Amino acid sequence: MSGARASLRISLASLRAHKRRFAGTFLAVFLGVSFLAGTMVMGDTLKASFDTLFTDANRGTDAVVRSSDVITVPGGGQGTREPVDTALVQRIEAVPGVAAAAPNITGAGQLVGADGKAVGGKGPPTLAGNWIEDPQLNPYTLAEGRAPKAPGEAVINRGAAKSGKLRIGDTTVLRTPDPVKVTIVGVAAFGGEDGMGQTTFTGLTRADAERYLTPKPGLASTIQVRAGPGVGQRELAERLTRVLPANVEAITGQQATDESLTMISGTFLKIFTSLLLVFAGIALLVATFSIHNTFAIVVAQRTRENALLRALGASRRQVLGSTLVESAVVAVVASVAGLLGGIGVAAGLQALFPVVGFPFPNGDLVIGVTALVVPFLVGLVVCTGSALLPAVRAGRTAPLAALRETAVDTSGASRKRAVLGALAAVTGIALTVAGAAGTPSVWLTGGGSVLTLAAFVILGPVASAYAVRLLGAPLARLRGVTGGLARRNALRSPKRTAATATALMIGVAVVSLFTVFGASLKATMDQTVSRSFAGDVAISAPVFGAGGSGLSPKLAPAVGALPQVRTAVGLGRGVAKVDGGGRTLTVTDPAALATVLDLGTVDGSLTGLGTDGIAVARDEADKHGWRIGSTASLVFTDGKPLPFTVAAVYERADLAGDYVITREAWAPHRVQDSDTLVAVAFKDGVSTGDGKGAVEKVAAAYGGPTVQTRAEYAESSASAIDMMLTLVYALLALAVLIALLGIANTLTLAVHERTRELGLLRAVGQTRSQLRAMVRWESVLVAAFGTVGGLGLGAFLGWALVKATDSSGTSAFAVPPAQLAVVLLVGLVAGVLAGWRPARRAARLDVLRAIATE
């Protein structure tokens, strides 16, 4: 017990005496724990916000009546259902225990703001529907004005009114997608908030909703039911089930809420929070290198001190325990501070995501026990684990080491390390290339990438000696003796240089990986448009559910009637089950499609598909074993299988999709008809400028969608990638910051251990400015080694990721030289900044005191 108390006293005394030595370690743990805690708090907050959102939406609804047949396609949310007959309302109201029932007609409807620009449409849905008179079944409540009563009147949610600068009495356009003029007569709130998260809503009369949002009157998306006193939700649903047709079901309001939450939590939120946790892991990995390096240097500097303790009777266990206690104290203090910082990070993320295009529901931060305990334990493990090897090394200090004159760490790289690192590098690169260049395998490529990264870490001390010599070669010529000394200082301890640079290398590698991957995705989209889009201009819109309302199917015929236009083809979207799986169908004029899209080699004929013919992409046809004349069974939302004859098989599905049917074939199954793209080809002799101007005039009458040239269309298709990269760079900034703090901390400790050496340099004539420059150039060399290594590793792993995820073999690989040059420049500038404070401190050393230091 006395030995443990002695170790504790020694540790606390050392921490008090050398607080500055552990400043970098404290910051690394603090930032890593803050990001992890902030991520977990953000995840809990989002889950709670969506929970509240959907609970409020269904608060007054005890049962929902809907079609029992659903078709779900990948990324299609809760799926597509057939509308239900509103005549069922009377039958439902006659069921004992039913207090009220109302049809709920919901569809896409995007408002146009006072400035002529569309409101919303960048992710969250833009909805329109009938204004439900029953206040308990309607999740919206009137905040101003009145409910719509006459044709053309509308209520909009308060958030949409603010975004579009719309007021009661204003007349605007509602895209359904056909443009509809509406007069705003009321502004609604949702549970006291401006809206259902970032979703916009426009409430119409029931007659208008049926006219614009359904294929024919008498249909509704669902029927909302409220129970009478004493009737539970489950009992109500069971009573309703007895009177409903075979293809219609009744579920409880709680089930409807749970389904929405499962859709969000089980897919989107899980992926999103996992992504945040990956970046938190990267930050903590970078922090591990910085923390380990700090303790390794501190232990090396305290060799003489530890040896004196051993000579005075301290055991190895006490010296080891003393170092571990120091790390534990730093870990506890930094982790507790990190938990507080995590709350600030969560608040910052909550404000950041809407700015970069990820709007989420508003809500107070939710701080759960798990979000506090897990980051605290991770911070403790990372810090003490990083200090374990240096602590063991400290415990092995021999008492005779007290007689040494210096404790500077000049360790180099062993032959064993070089062999082990080379084997790991060869194996890792081979696995990565095999998973990327052979049959695409994300798992094989991922395993090889991890092993390659480990090889870089192992080979760091070996590579640092050669890299610093190469990168520092110009310094001796450009900066003379100062540059030469900076180069020699960086070469003095290859292990230290490598450990310091590795943290930055990992951060830069991940930045480079995403930069290369994003550039490749853009190049692939540009290649796809250039190869497949044979038209002159495109009018595009996001599909329903991704924001926006799509394009009016009347737009393509109107554009096609222009004297400048040869062909205008609209591409709509349908859904059906093919072999039991939900698939997206392209709804268009197949014969005209080939004039604006390059479909490659086409077997069969695209003309005359009629109501029972289908064109299929070659890959899909081969997968199902279909040939011209084969029968494909499609099941639409009514649940009845229909035979379609394969009339054509085409090569390129880039823009056309895997399945193409006519509008006549889709008409009996459609709900709210819209196009996602109108491809336009001009007549010979018509310039792009003249043709585009004419098309824009026609498009203005249909809500004013954007008309783009082929190049503009390709660029806009890749806009989501820029948004993704912005978010990635923002999240990775923390890892890079931790790495730079590691460089600054290493240099600060190096200045401390070289105090006497620096004093001698000043004594023999080195000026303060030369000393500052020497330390800064040393920092730049370390940063350059990490940045260049990270760029090379990131570019290689970026190539591997592009190839491993390219199952079709059509992706393009692109290396953006300008963006990578910016990363390199930022790395070098960061090296200068990281060395600024240590250089300043070194220049302020008193010469006589420095020389007298032991």
- Asked whether the beta carbons of 634 and 574 are under 8 A apart, the reply is no
Distance (Å, whole) CA 741 – CA 735: 10
Percent of the chain with pLDDT over 70: 84
Mean pLDDT of 395-399: 63
Residue 764: per-residue pLDDT: 72
pLDDT tens digits for range 402-441? 445 444 444 455 677 778 888 988 998 888 888 888 777 7
The tokens for 47 are 């889950």
Mean pLDDT of 809-815: 78
The tokens for 134 are 């029953």
The tokens for 783 are 């940063």
The tokens for 635 are 């099941």
The tokens for 188 are 């609604």
State the pairing for strand pair 631-635/565-578: antiparallel
Considering the chain, what is the average pLDDT of its residues? 82
- Asked whether the beta carbons of 670 and 638 are under 8 A apart, the reply is no
Percent of the chain with pLDDT over 90: 26
Distance (Å, whole) CA 294 – CA 21: 8
Distance (Å, whole) CA 157 – CA 202: 7
pLDDT tens digits for range 718-767? 777 777 777 777 777 777 777 777 777 776 666 666 666 667 777 777 77
Say whether pTM exceeds 0.95: no
Distance (Å, whole) CA 200 – CA 635: 32
Residue 303: per-residue pLDDT: 61
pLDDT band at 771 (very low <50, low <70, confident <90, very high): confident
Phi, psi of 107 (to 5 degrees): -155, -175
pLDDT tens digits for range 281-340? 887 877 777 777 777 776 666 666 666 666 666 666 766 777 777 778 888 888 999 899
pLDDT tens digits for range 772-804? 788 788 888 888 888 888 898 889 988 888 888
* The 3-state secondary structure of 112-162, one letter per residue: ECCCCCECCCCCCCEEEEECCCCCCCCCEEEEEECCCCCCCEEEEEHHHHH
Mean pLDDT of 835-842: 74
Residues 6+ apart with CB under 8 A from 47: 265, 269, 366
Angle at 593 between CA 705 and CA 691, to 5 degrees: 45
Q: Identity (one letter) of the amino acid at 217?
A: P
Residue 174 above 50 pLDDT? yes
Name the burial class of residue 271, with classes exposed (0-12), middle (13-18) and buried (19+) by CB atoms within 10 angstroms of its CB: exposed
Name the burial class of residue 685, with classes exposed (0-12), middle (13-18) and buried (19+) by CB atoms within 10 angstroms of its CB: exposed
Residue 543 above 50 pLDDT? no
Residue 544: per-residue pLDDT: 42
Mean pLDDT of 374-401: 76
- Asked whether the beta carbons of 296 and 499 are under 8 A apart, the reply is yes
Distance (Å, whole) CA 447 – CA 433: 11
